[in-house]
Amino acid sequence: MIVQRVVLNSRPGKNGNPVAENFRVEEVNLSDNINEGQVQVRTLYLSVDPYMRCRMNEDTGTDYIRAWQLSQVVDGGGIGIVEESKHINFTKGDFVISLYWPWQTKVILDGNSLEKVDPQLVDGNLSYFLGAIGMPGLTSLIGIQEKGHITGGSNQTMVVSGAAGACGSLAGQIGHLMGCSRVVGICGTQEKCLFLTSELGFDAAVNYKKGNVAEQLRELCPAGVDVYFDNVGGDISDAVISQMNQNSHIILCGQISQYNKDVPYPPPLPPAVEAIQKERNITRERFLVLNYKDKFESGILQLSQWFKEGKLKIKETVINGLENMGAAFQSMMTGGNLGKQIVCISEETSV
C-alpha cells in the first residue's frame, strides 16, 4: 500500500526561522502485514506545537525530547483510528492517540505506544485530544495548580503571554475558574485581543505590537501582578516581571520568542530583571508537565467537565492536508493561529 509521509528536508539552523521548505512530502510503501502487538492506524489529526522547534536542531538541548533526523519521518502528537489490530488492547474502530505519531497518512505502530481515547469526553471533537483535552490543556491546568499558587477570593491578578495560543487561551480561562479575580492577556493582533475579551472572558488584553507594553500593563493591572503564565519569554516577560508583586509566581510554560536562538532553557533573565525577581522573591521554576503523569487522568476529566459545562471555550485553527504540515508549522511559529494549530489529515471516522 502506498502512503504519504512528511520527512525533515533541512534544518533551519539553531538561530534560523523555520520555513515550510524544511519539510517535504514523499510516498512510501506500507507493509500489508502487521505483526503480533502491532496495529495499523489511519491518521485523522496531527498537532504542530512550539516545542517542536528544538526538534529541528541536531541537538534539542534537553534529554527528554528527541531530535528529528534528516530525511526521516517527522513525528508529534496525533490521533487516528485503528483499521487492523494484533494487539490485545485495541480493536478495529478504536480511536487512539500518541505523542510520537508519525506524520504519515497511514502507519503501523507498536500498540504499547498508543492510548485509547473516549470520544464522549470531547463530544466527538476528536482533535480536542491534541489540544484542550490533551497535552496543552494538561500543561495549562497542572502548571497553574502546581506553580501558580492561586487562592480563591484573594483578589489575585494573572497575566498570560502568548494568550491567544494553544496553552495561553486555556490558561487565562483556567485562572478565572481557579479563583483569579482579574486575568489580562498579551498577544500580537487586535483580532486576538478582541477574541480574548469577547469570547474567552479575559478582563483585558494588550497588543504588544502597539504601544508600550509596560505602560499598558500598569494601567490594566493597578494592583500589580500575582501570577504570570509565561509562554514567550524575552522583552514581554521582562515587562511583566518588573510589575510583579512580592512573593508572586511565574509559571514557566514556554519561551517561544527565544526558540530560534541558541540559548539555554529557560533563558537567563537580564541582570536588572533578575535583580527584581530576587528582591521580590518571585518564583520562576522550570515546569515540565511530563513530571506529573499521575495527575493526567484526573486533569483530563476536569478539562472535559469544564468543556461540557461551557466553562472552557475551545478554539482551533485547522489546516487541511498532510502536504500543508510545513506551512502549518511555519504559521504557528509566527503567530498565525488562534488557539490550537491542528492539521486535519482525514475526517473519515468509520472503518
| Tens digit of each residue's pLDDT (9 = 90 or more) over 238-255 | 999 999 999 999 999 878
Q: What mean pLDDT do residues 136-157 have?
A: 96
Crossing angle between the packed helical segments 135-147 and 296-308, to the nearest 10 degrees: 110
Residue 316 pairs in a beta bridge with: 340
Q: What mean pLDDT do residues 193-198 have?
A: 98
pLDDT of residue 257: 62
Asked whether the beta carbons of 152 and 179 are under 8 A apart, the reply is: yes
186 confidence band (pLDDT: 50, 70, 90): very high
**What is the distance between the alpha carbons of residues 96 and 83, in angstroms, rounded to a whole number?**
11
In three-state secondary structure terms, 217 is helix
List all residues 6 or more positions away from 231 whose beta carbon is below 8 Å from its beta carbon: 50, 160, 161, 162, 163, 165, 167, 168, 171, 253, 254, 255, 256
Asked whether the beta carbons of 58 and 76 are under 8 A apart, the reply is: no
pLDDT of residue 274: 97
The predicted model scores a pTM of 0.95
How many CA atoms lie less than 13 Å away from 270 in the CB half-sphere? Answer: 11
What are the tens digits of pLDDT across the range 206-215?
999 999 999 9
Residue whose C-alpha cell reads 490558561 in the numeric block: 171
**What is the distance between the alpha carbons of residues 89 and 34, in angstroms, rounded to a whole number?**
15
**What is the distance between the alpha carbons of residues 233 and 28, in angstroms, rounded to a whole number?**
40
Lowest mean pLDDT among 51-65, 137-151, 192-206, 308-322: 51-65
How many CA atoms lie less than 13 Å away from 152 in the CB half-sphere? Answer: 5
Q: What mean pLDDT do residues 194-203 have?
A: 98
- Tell me what the pLDDT averaged over the chain comes to: 95
- The closest alpha carbon to 125, from 326, 307, 334, belongs to 307
- Percent of residues, the chain, with pLDDT higher than 70: 99
pLDDT of residue 20: 97
- The closest alpha carbon to 84, from 117, 120, 130, 35, belongs to 35
**What is the distance between the alpha carbons of residues 61 and 135, in angstroms, rounded to a whole number?**
21
- 197, with CB counted inside 10 A (0-12, 13-18, 19+), is middle
pLDDT of residue 262: 76
Annotated domain spans of the chain: 2-131+315-344, 135-290
- The closest alpha carbon to 230, from 246, 208, 254, 248, belongs to 254
Whether residue 305 is predicted with pLDDT greater than 70 in this model: the reply is yes
Q: Considering only the top CATH level, what class is 135-290?
A: alpha beta
56-72 CB burial, b ≥16 within 10 A, e <16: bbeebeeeeeebbeeee
What are the tens digits of pLDDT across the range 69-123?
999 999 999 999 999 999 999 999 999 999 999 999 999 999 999 999 999 999 9
**What is the distance between the alpha carbons of residues 292 and 9, in angstroms, rounded to a whole number?**
34
Q: What is the DSSP string of 223-260?
A: T-EEEEEESS-HHHHHHHHTTEEEEEEEEE---GGGTT
DSSP at 50: G
What are the tens digits of pLDDT across the range 253-302?
878 667 677 767 788 999 999 999 999 999 998 888 989 999 999 999 99
Task: Give the chain's length.
Answer: 351
pLDDT of residue 94: 98
What are the tens digits of pLDDT across the range 15-63?
999 999 999 999 999 999 999 999 999 999 999 998 999 999 999 988 8
E strand intervals along the chain: 2-8, 23-29, 38-47, 75-85, 95-102, 106-110, 115-116, 157-161, 182-187, 204-207, 225-230, 244-252, 283-286, 316-320, 340-344
The CATH number of 2-131+315-344 is 3.90.180.10
